[in-house]
Amino acid sequence: MPFQVIPRELAFYGLFDRAADGVVEGARELAALVDDLEARESHAARIQDLEHAGDDLTHEIVATLNTTFVTPFDRPDIHRLASLLDDVLDAQEAVGDLLVLHGIVAPIAQFRELVDVLVRATEAVRIAVSSLRSFRGTESACAEVRRLEREGDWVY
């Protein structure tokens, strides 16, 4: 077993896993909103709660970053990943809010298809994030995200 003079902070992996879980949960809640537009306010409120929890988690990641001497990977990459995961939750919240604000009762079929793609893409992101510890499976998960992005572009 190799000896490390300066240990790396491994808390980031757990924090990123929690952030990715929140992104998946937000996408699933958005899908539930689209499937149950009569209860759109409660689904949108749940997405908003997830977004606030995501903000708190992003702040925790940044605070950990600011107090950690040796990180598992580059500081700018840690900050960017945390910010991008938070951006996904922000976008999910915005979509939920717009569905409520405009009183959408029957979105076009392609919208539901896009939400399905979003759910699958966030699940692939979660796999990619969880594979950061060992980098096993990261490449295939990222390829799946790219494939789903193209699928979403086609649906759109």
Residue 23, domain CATH: 1.20.58.220
Percent of the chain with pLDDT over 70: 95
**Which pLDDT value is given to residue 5?**
47
Q: What is the dihedral of CA 23, 29, 35, 37, to 10 degrees?
A: -120
Whether residue 3 lies inside any domain: the answer is no
In a domain, 38, yes or no: yes
The CA distances from residue 11 to 15, 95, 100, in Å, are: 6, 31, 37
Distance of alpha carbon 20 from its chain centroid, rounded?
Answer: 4
2 lies in some domain: no
Number of domains in the chain: 1
The boundaries of the domain holding residue 34 are 11-155
54 part of a folded domain: yes
Q: What is the mean pLDDT of the chain?
A: 93
In a domain, 145, yes or no: yes
Q: 6 lies in a domain?
A: no
- What's the average model confidence in pLDDT over 131-147? 94
The predicted pLDDT at position 8 comes to 60
Residue 115 belongs to a domain: yes
| Position 1 in a domain | no
What is this structure's pTM?
0.91
